[in-house]
Amino acid sequence: MLKKLYPDYIFPTIQDIDDDFFRKLNIRFLIMDIDNTLVPYTCPEPTKQAHAFLQRLKKENIAGGFVSNNHAARVELFNKTIGLPYICNAKKPFTAGIKKLMKIIEADKMHTALIGDQIFTDIYGGNRAGLTTILVNPIESSETPFFAFKRKYEKMVLKKMEEEKKICLKSTDAQNILQ
């Protein structure tokens, strides 16, 4: 069970993902979380950084889509200028939303990665669906007590994973996530 919580890769932010990362892993499909992964939770529309990342995927011929636990209005507004397939109210870590999106973009497990900022929803869901999982540090640090509580347990999982040397740290900055 614990291993299903371990991400395959960790980066501080989406901007830190190496240029050849997706190519090297033969990733052709990317399922993305939105809140605190691509933009801050409080940011309704894509930022310059989010646009740049999505542009990069396009250039690399990676088909993308969003699987968000947030409600339709949030996801629709965010996606308005992007126009990618999406699933809202996805209830990650349940895999139904993830699988639904994979069907829409005609993705296969072998060539699909999921990126998100939360271990218990994104990473656990992605691992359960049999995908390559990528964890990024949440963009926004100011969070509710509930999130702070959850983060504490996420850090415990990451520490445990580090002990078992199952982690693949692509950047020394990623060490910060473990502190």
Select 8 or 117, whichever has its Cβ closest to Mg ion: 117
Rounded to 5 degrees, φ, ψ at 115 are: -120, 135
Select 24 or 146, whichever has its Cβ closest to Mg ion: 146
What's the Cα-to-Cα distance from 87 to each of 44, 57, 65, 91, 104, rounded to whole Å?
Answer: 17, 19, 8, 10, 10
CB of 88 vs Mg ion, minimal distance in Å: 13
Task: Please spell the DSSP secondary structure of 24-50, one letter per residue.
Answer: HHT--EEEE--BTTTB-TT--S--HHH
CB of 33 vs Mg ion, minimal distance in Å: 4
Decide: is 154 part of the binding site for Mg ion (CB under 5 A). Answer: no
CB of 68 vs Mg ion, minimal distance in Å: 8
Q: Pick out residues in 6-65 that bind Mg ion (CB under 5 A).
A: 33, 35-37
Decide: is 112 part of the binding site for Mg ion (CB under 5 A). Answer: no
Residue ranges that bind Mg ion, judged by CB under 5 A: 33, 35-37, 117
